[in-house]
Structure 1
Amino acid sequence: MVEHRALHSAITLPDGRVLAAGGFTHSAELYNPATGTWNATGQASMARSYHTATLLPSGQVLFTGGSSSGLGATTELYDPTTGSWRTTNNMSTSRRSHTAAVLPSGRVLVTGGIDASGNPLASAELYDPATGSWSAAGSLASARSRHVAVVLASGRVLVTGGTGASGNSLASAELYDPATGSWTSTGGLRVGRAQPAAALLPSGKVLVLGGLDSADNSLASAELYDPATGSWQPTGDMLHRRSQHHALLLPSGQVLATGGYDPWFGILASTESYDPATGTWSASASMVERRYRHALTLLADGRVLVTGGHGPGNQLVRAELYDPDAGTWVSAASLATPRYRHTANRLPDGQVLVTGGFGDSGPLASSERLAPSSGAWSAAGNMSTPRYAHTATLLPSGKLLIAGGLAASSLRSVEQYDPLTGTWTSTGDMLLPRHYHTATLLADGRVLVAGGNESSRLAELYDPATRVWTGAGNMLTARRYHAATLLPDGRVLVSGGYGVSQTGQPATPLHSVEVYDPATGFWSAPYSMRMGTPRLDHTATLLPDGRVLVAGGYGSPGVGQSARVLETAEIYNPSTGSWMPTRAMLAPHRNHTATLLADGRVLVAGGTDEAGMQTSAELYDPATSTWTPTPCMTLQRRYHTATVLPSGRVLAIGGEQDFNPRASTERYHP
Structure 2
Amino acid sequence: MEHLRLVAALSSLLVGTLPAVASAAPVLQAPMDPARAQHVAEYFPGLGVVVTGGFVATGAARSAARFDAAADAWTPLTAAPVDLWDADAVRLADGRWLALDASVGVVYDPSADVWLDVPALAGTHREQTTLGLLPDGDVLIVGGLQSPKTSLRFDPGTGTLADVRPLAEARSSPTVTALADGRVLAAGGWRWGYLVAWDSEIQEPLASAERYDPETDTWTAAAAMATPRERHAATLLTSGEVLVSGGHSIDVALEQDPFLVTASAERYDPVSDSWAPAAALHEARFDHTATRLPSGKVLVAGGRGAGGVLGSVEVYDPASDTWTLLPPMSTPRWLHTATYVPGYGVVIAGGTSGSITSPLSSVELYPLGQAEAGAACSIDDECVSDACVAGACGPDDSGGDGGPFDCAADRANTWPDGIGTLGLVGLGLCGLRRGRRLTASRR
Q: Same fold (TM over 0.5)?
A: yes
Where does structure 1 lack aligned partners over 5 or more consecutive residues?
Answer: 1-264, 273-280, 285-324
CA 574–607 in structure 1, closer or farther in 2 if over 3 Å, else same:
same
Answer whether contact 1:570 1:581 (CA < 8 A) is retained. yes
Instruction: Report the counterpart of residue 541 of structure 1 in structure 2.
Output: 235
CA 423–538 in structure 1, closer or farther in 2 if over 3 Å, else same:
same
Are 2:9 and 1:282 equivalent residues in the alignment? Answer: no
Instruction: Report the counterpart of residue 661 of structure 1 in structure 2.
Output: 359
Instruction: Report the counterpart of residue 177 of structure 2 in structure 1.
Output: 485
Instruction: Report the counterpart of residue 82 of structure 2 in structure 1.
Output: 385
**Distance in structure 2 (CA, Å) of the matches to 1:436 and 1:327:** 36
Instruction: Report the counterpart of residue 58 of structure 2 in structure 1.
Output: 361
| Equivalent position SS for 1:383 | coil
| Equivalent position SS for 1:466 | coil
- In the TM superposition, residue 581 of structure 1 has moved relative to its aligned partner by 1.3
Instruction: Report the counterpart of residue 468 of structure 1 in structure 2.
Output: 160
CA 661–557 in structure 1, closer or farther in 2 if over 3 Å, else same:
same
Are 2:21 and 1:334 equivalent residues in the alignment? Answer: no
Taking only aligned residues, the RMSD between alpha carbons, in angstroms, comes to 2.4
Q: Percent identity?
A: 35
**Distance in structure 1 (CA, Å) of the matches to 2:91 and 2:66:** 15
Are 2:135 and 1:422 equivalent residues in the alignment? Answer: no
CA 344–574 in structure 1, closer or farther in 2 if over 3 Å, else same:
same
Are 2:321 and 1:625 equivalent residues in the alignment? Answer: yes
**Distance in structure 2 (CA, Å) of the matches to 1:532 and 1:476:** 18
- In the TM superposition, residue 327 of structure 1 has moved relative to its aligned partner by 4.0
**Distance in structure 2 (CA, Å) of the matches to 1:490 and 1:508:** 29
**Distance in structure 2 (CA, Å) of the matches to 1:270 and 1:456:** 55
Q: Deviations over 1:445-494 (max 9, x none)?
A: 11111111324522111112211111351112222222111111011100
| Equivalent position SS for 2:111 | coil
Paired residue type of 1:494: A
**Distance in structure 2 (CA, Å) of the matches to 1:532 and 1:560:** 17
Count of aligned pairs: 345
Paired residue type of 1:429: A
Where does structure 2 lack aligned partners over 5 or more consecutive residues?
Answer: 1-9, 195-200, 368-381, 383-443
State which of 573, 586, 596 in structure 1 corresponds to 2:282: 586
| Equivalent position SS for 1:365 | coil
CA 544–434 in structure 1, closer or farther in 2 if over 3 Å, else same:
same
**Distance in structure 2 (CA, Å) of the matches to 1:548 and 1:500:** 26
**Distance in structure 2 (CA, Å) of the matches to 1:579 and 1:486:** 17
**Distance in structure 2 (CA, Å) of the matches to 1:381 and 1:652:** 22
**Distance in structure 1 (CA, Å) of the matches to 2:161 and 2:186:** 20
- In the TM superposition, residue 658 of structure 1 has moved relative to its aligned partner by 1.6
**Distance in structure 2 (CA, Å) of the matches to 1:519 and 1:609:** 40
Equivalent residues in 2 for 1:605-644 (5 A)? 605-644=301-340
Answer whether contact 1:340 1:358 (CA < 8 A) is retained. yes
Q: Deviations over 1:553-602 (max 9, x none)?
A: 10126854721111111111111101111121111111111111122211
| Equivalent position SS for 2:320 | coil
Q: Deviations over 1:228-287 (max 9, x none)?
A: xxxxxxxxxxxxxxxxxxxxxxxxxxxxxxxxxxxxx9xxx9899xxxxxxxx8257xxx
Question: Is the radius of gyration larger for structure 1 or structure 2?
Answer: 1
**Distance in structure 1 (CA, Å) of the matches to 2:15 and 2:262:** 41
Q: Deviations over 1:11-51 (max 9, x none)?
A: xxxxxxxxxxxxxxxxxxxxxxxxxxxxxxxxxxxxxxxxx
State which of 504, 514, 518 in structure 1 corresponds to 2:210: 514
Paired residue type of 1:629: L
Answer whether contact 1:453 1:478 (CA < 8 A) is retained. no
Answer whether contact 1:454 1:500 (CA < 8 A) is retained. no
Paired residue type of 2:106: E
Instruction: Report the counterpart of residue 445 of structure 1 in structure 2.
Output: 137
**Distance in structure 2 (CA, Å) of the matches to 1:557 and 1:490:** 34
- In the TM superposition, residue 355 of structure 1 has moved relative to its aligned partner by 1.0
CA 610–517 in structure 1, closer or farther in 2 if over 3 Å, else same:
same
Paired residue type of 2:113: G
More helix by share: 2
Answer whether contact 2:207 2:228 (CA < 8 A) is retained. yes
**Distance in structure 2 (CA, Å) of the matches to 1:455 and 1:464:** 21
**Distance in structure 1 (CA, Å) of the matches to 2:163 and 2:350:** 34
**Distance in structure 2 (CA, Å) of the matches to 1:326 and 1:646:** 22
- In the TM superposition, residue 371 of structure 1 has moved relative to its aligned partner by 1.9
Are 2:250 and 1:556 equivalent residues in the alignment? Answer: yes
Answer whether contact 1:441 1:448 (CA < 8 A) is retained. yes
**Distance in structure 2 (CA, Å) of the matches to 1:648 and 1:549:** 24
**Distance in structure 2 (CA, Å) of the matches to 1:467 and 1:501:** 36
Instruction: Report the counterpart of residue 145 of structure 1 in structure 2.
Output: none
Q: Which has the higher contact order (CA 8 A, sep 6+)?
A: 2
Answer whether contact 1:478 1:501 (CA < 8 A) is retained. no
Answer whether contact 2:23 2:327 (CA < 8 A) is retained. no
Answer whether contact 2:69 2:344 (CA < 8 A) is retained. no
- Runs (4 or more) in structure 1 with deviation over 4 Å come to 269-272, 557-561
Answer whether contact 1:565 1:588 (CA < 8 A) is retained. yes
Are 2:46 and 1:352 equivalent residues in the alignment? Answer: no
CA 326–344 in structure 1, closer or farther in 2 if over 3 Å, else same:
farther
| Equivalent position SS for 1:429 | helix
CA 667–476 in structure 1, closer or farther in 2 if over 3 Å, else same:
same
**Distance in structure 2 (CA, Å) of the matches to 1:425 and 1:626:** 43
Instruction: Report the counterpart of residue 128 of structure 2 in structure 1.
Output: 436
Answer whether contact 2:251 2:259 (CA < 8 A) is retained. yes
Paired residue type of 1:662: L
Q: Deviations over 1:93-121 (max 9, x none)?
A: xxxxxxxxxxxxxxxxxxxxxxxxxxxxx
**Distance in structure 1 (CA, Å) of the matches to 2:158 and 2:202:** 36
Paired residue type of 1:439: L
Equivalent residues in 2 for 1:3-18 (5 A)? none
**Distance in structure 1 (CA, Å) of the matches to 2:16 and 2:33:** 39
CA 468–501 in structure 1, closer or farther in 2 if over 3 Å, else same:
farther
Equivalent residues in 2 for 1:178-577 (5 A)? 282-283=19-20, 327-349=24-46, 351-403=48-100, 405=101, 410-411=102-103, 413-430=104-121, 432-500=124-192, 506-526=202-222, 529-556=223-250, 559-560=253-254, 562-577=258-273
Paired residue type of 2:246: G
Instruction: Report the counterpart of residue 602 of structure 1 in structure 2.
Output: 298
**Distance in structure 1 (CA, Å) of the matches to 2:16 and 2:326:** 22
CA 654–463 in structure 1, closer or farther in 2 if over 3 Å, else same:
same
Answer whether contact 1:428 1:469 (CA < 8 A) is retained. no
Answer whether contact 1:432 1:453 (CA < 8 A) is retained. no
Answer whether contact 1:539 1:552 (CA < 8 A) is retained. yes
CA 557–573 in structure 1, closer or farther in 2 if over 3 Å, else same:
farther
**Distance in structure 1 (CA, Å) of the matches to 2:193 and 2:260:** 21
**Distance in structure 2 (CA, Å) of the matches to 1:599 and 1:656:** 29
More strand by share: 1
TM-score, length of structure 2 as denominator length: 0.73
Paired residue type of 2:365: R
- In the TM superposition, residue 335 of structure 1 has moved relative to its aligned partner by 0.7
**Distance in structure 2 (CA, Å) of the matches to 1:551 and 1:598:** 19
